[in-house]
Amino acid sequence: MATTAYLPLQQILGDFVQHARLDDFAALAAIALLSTAYISKGRLWRKPDPYSVKLYERPQQQPGAMKAAEQSKNLAERLEQSNTDIAVLWASQSGTAERMAGRLAKDLRKHFGARVLLLDLSDIDPASCADVPENKLAIFLASTFGEGDPSDNMHEFWAWLHQDQGSPQVLSALRYLAFGLGNSNYKHYNHVIDVVASQLEARGAHALLPTARADDATGDTEEHFLEWKESVFEVFQGQLGYKQQEVGYEPSLRIVEDASLEPIDLHHGIPQTRNAKKPSPAESKIHALPITQSRELFSDATDRNCIHMEVDLNLFPGLKYRTGDHLAVWPVNPTAEVELLVAVLGLHGRRSSPCLVQSTDDTPIKVPSPTTIDALFEHYLEVCAPVSREHVGLLATFAPTDAAKDLLTNISVDRLIYAEHLASNHVTLARLLQVANGGVGAWSRLPLSLVVEVLPAMQPRYYSISSSSVVQARKAAITAVVSDTTLSTSGERIPGLATNYLLSQMNGQHPRGMKYSLPTPHQPLSSGSLHAHLRKSTFKLPTLASTPIVMVGAGTGVAPFRAFIQERARLKGMGREVGPTKLYFGCRNAGQDFIYEDDIAEAAAKLGDVFSMTTAFSRPDNATDKRYVQDRIVEEAAQVCDLLVEGNAYFYICGSAAMARDVTNAVSKVVIARQGWSEEQMKDFSDRQKRQKRWHQDVWG
């Protein structure tokens, strides 16, 4: 067995030193140095910069701003933390209530020096209203849409209002004011604010004013808001002890030009939802969708147009819709209006310069930033919107001449004069300024911040999807009548914003010459595409295709029913049992605007006896045949009653709110008559159908 000799350590090291080469020492030294450097990283060198996070903040973020997620949801705590006495809380679907809440908050600060906190209603815990002390004030502005539905950001508060709170005086310390936005064409006019007020009162809260309501059906939302605001001012002076002071324009934001920003840093026109930080689960992301097909639906399109348009979803695998959903289209402002505004403000030399839009108080910034004036006027602000009477008066303070000031002041101080001006003129901001003093650059002294404050933020327009996800899952179709308005006094034509934009995209050019600045450098849209997103809807077919359905639509209200009928035809072709499918369709004239007649006939041939359609023409060739869809329902009372009551059919209405109201009244009339019910029994029946999601309405004002 061999033995191993163990040499002393000193001898081993000595042999190594004797035989080692210079490069061995160098390697050892390098390893030691690198090890030391690694161990000391962050201690002796490359210490972390505590301010490095600033590199990743959006330019418009205010220093020290607390993220919404980190702020308390307790309303009393928020008032205490911000050292404010008044909370202005808004619940808005389209943005109108939000804008008015912002205006009210700003005016209370400006005219009374009040300490005001402006809040999205979804940012507070509803139960915390009970913690608000009696020396504070809550002001609620809430919109009603659909069939008396609350806005998306009000669902938590709405659920709380309908809960049993235990003590009936849980809100005995709460003082409040309430203003609702609605449309009297709808059956449940201003239902949301009525429920808010009644439930607050039932819990012991004290209203300092009767609940006020704005009516969009008459176009008086703005005037009703101004009347209510005057009453609020009287409360502040008479009941709350504030003294009103007259002040000039105080901007709630500033526009800062920054030439150091590169094009890649800017927002060039890609839309941004109002609540970008809190996206709605019902809405998809916004994408630029290619238009794959479009065609005119009216047989005589010389004066009126109806568009069928399909967009491709294939570029975005996560973008999926279900039959009955909506497509939200983001319009672009017409070039002529943009150019007119740029000219009258004298902004030609600055229109492409990078600029930051920054808040000077807690007013939310309604447009993306940083951006350019071009992007603001083309994509982010509705430059075609009419100017409110209040804002006309504000513009008068910056008038370049006495004559211009007198004209604008005269329009602003009298409601009737303002209404007459609107009735005889196409009033946009640019056109109003041009009428007052139309020289190029005449209004160059007008602060750009005021222009941004006066113009509403661009909003999407929602269209019922007229295609079936079962038939064409990766293409979504919409149907839109071009909604131009003719002034009663002058006969001038005011073009609808979104529908004329769609019309221009149909064949690459607008039949009446309207142009849109596409494409341009850094333009986010290519020709033949549009910005849009999907929104989920509860307007759905029954789960079982064998369930009977009754559909009532007038004009483009037939759009979702085209999808319903095509889907049922496909299901029957697959061997599924399909129940009775009844359509009532109304339009002006069979020869001019009977849209989708061929598509419906093709689906009807596949469905066979289970499908039937009854038409109603309001302007037929023979005047004695004039009918509306509600007239046809009365004429076919037995069939309607059998389907709805005996057959437990799903019932759908799509179209204008006025039509939906008349149809609902007609259905109630025939069911009451044939069933021998009282009005109370009919109400119980319709309420039960709605709770069971068998009665659906998709209507607009």
- Closest C-alpha to 663, from 688, 695, 692: 695
* Tens of pLDDT, residues 270-307: 998 766 566 788 899 999 999 999 999 998 767 889 99
Q: Are 143 and 93 in contact (CB under 8 A)?
A: yes
**Taking each helix axis from N to C terminus, what angle separates 679-691 and 657-675, rounded to the nearest 10 degrees?**
120
φ/ψ region of 693 (left if φ > 0, alpha if ψ in -120 to 50, else beta) reads left
Q: How confident is the model at residue 246 (pLDDT cuts 50, 70, 90)?
A: confident
Nearest-angstrom CA–CA distance, 118 and 106: 9
Between these two residues, 472 and 525, which has the higher pLDDT value?
472
Q: On the CB side of 492, how many CA atoms lie within 13 Å of its CA?
A: 10
Domains 71-238 and 549-700 equal at CATH topology level = yes
Q: What are phi and psi of 628, to 5 degrees?
A: -115, 165
Between these two residues, 43 and 568, which has the higher pLDDT value?
568
Architecture of domain 549-700: 3-Layer(aba) Sandwich (3.40)
Q: Are 465 and 326 in contact (CB under 8 A)?
A: yes
Q: How far apart are the first and last CA of the chain?
A: 105
Burial class (CB in 10 A: 0-12, 13-18, 19+), 446: buried
104: which 2 tokens? 């009210």
Give me the mean pLDDT over the 661-690 stretch.
95
Burial class (CB in 10 A: 0-12, 13-18, 19+), 202: middle
Give me the mean pLDDT over the 203-220 stretch.
93
Q: Does position 5 have pLDDT exceeding 70, yes or no?
A: no
Q: Does position 12 have pLDDT exceeding 60, yes or no?
A: no
pTM (two decimals): 0.84
Domain boundaries, the chain: 71-238, 249-270+283-537, 549-700
Q: CB within 8 A of 119, min separation 6: which ones?
A: 75, 78, 87, 88, 89, 90
Among 1.10.3720.10, 1.20.990.10, 2.60.120.380, 1.10.10.60, name the CATH number for the domain at 249-270+283-537.
1.20.990.10
Give the pLDDT confidence score for residue 175 in this predicted structure. Answer: 97
In this structure, what DSSP letter does residue 558 have? G
CB atoms under 10 Å from CB of 640, counted, come to: 25
Among 3.40.50.2000, 3.30.56.10, 3.40.50.360, 3.40.50.300, name the CATH number for the domain at 71-238.
3.40.50.360
Q: Does position 149 have pLDDT exceeding 60, yes or no?
A: yes
- Closest C-alpha to 177, from 80, 87, 83, 74: 87
